[in-house]
Amino acid sequence: MGFPILPFFLIFLIWLAFRLRSLDAKQKQQEDDFWAKERQANITPAKDISNLRYITIPLEKFPLNFTDDEKVLEIEEELKELSTHRLLNLIGVTNTDLKLTYGVPNFETMSKIGDDFDRVCVLLNAYAKELMAAERIDDVITVLEFAVGVGSDISESYTMLAECYEIKGQHEKLDLLRTQVAKSNLLLKNSILSKIESKTIVSSGEQMVDMKL
């Protein structure tokens, strides 16, 4: 006696048809919601952006002019220039959300503010690498604690800071950094956590060895 395949095949086809219809309806709803949001964004009036909590680069804490290297001096000069700009972490904020939050007339201004922040994050990471090469670990920590504190999305800044904490034996700070990353929305969060956790395990192991000795 053969297994009745046809009824099950028909049931599968019916389920598939309903599933595809459901997905089409969901996609259409998402598109309708997007365009409704975009239409609303395009008529949003200007908001007051003068009193926003803009980010300030703490140049007074940085070891400016610690070397005559042309590359480093260019980084420092650009950081000085950007320190005079208004900066906000707008990573992940869409153009539609920018217009809805700050108004259409402020769109270009806010886009520039976000772009400048992104550039600062790149420069801070590059600056920290130069400081690392010069074995100025405390200065690397100062620069990168600021970078990760304002929400840089450059993964190397987090792993480099973790490395510095390990070098200095600052295990509590290493754990705090791991917690900060775990709670973040960083794109490479899992990769960063994996590297930080490996450093934490190594540090904890070294502490246990020291206690036994």
Torsion over CA: 170, 172, 173, 178 (sign): positive
Mean pLDDT of the 175-195 span:
90
pLDDT band of 108, cuts 50, 70, 90:
very high
Q: How far apart are CA 128 and CA 144, in angstroms?
A: 7
Q: Are both 119 and 189 inside the same structural domain?
A: no
Q: Are both 105 and 169 inside the same structural domain?
A: no
Q: Which of 125, 138, 91 is nearest to 111 (CA)?
A: 91
- Domain around 51: 37-134
Number of independent structural domains in the chain: 2
Mean pLDDT estimate for the chain: 88
CA distances from 95 to 31, 91, 101 (A): 16, 11, 10
Q: Are both 68 and 122 inside the same structural domain?
A: yes
Residue 16 lies in a domain: no
Q: What is the pLDDT of residue 142?
A: 98
Mean pLDDT of the 155-180 span:
94
Burial class of 21 by CB neighbour count within 10 A (0 to 12, 13 to 18, 19+): exposed
The share of the chain scoring above pLDDT 70, in percent, equals 89
Q: Is the pTM of this model over 0.95?
A: no
Q: Which of 64, 67, 88 is nearest to 77 (CA)?
A: 64
On the question of pLDDT at 199 being above 70, the answer is: no
Residue 143 lies in a domain: no
How many CB atoms within 10 Å of residue 166?
19
Q: Which of 121, 114, 142, 132 is nearest to 75 (CA)?
A: 121
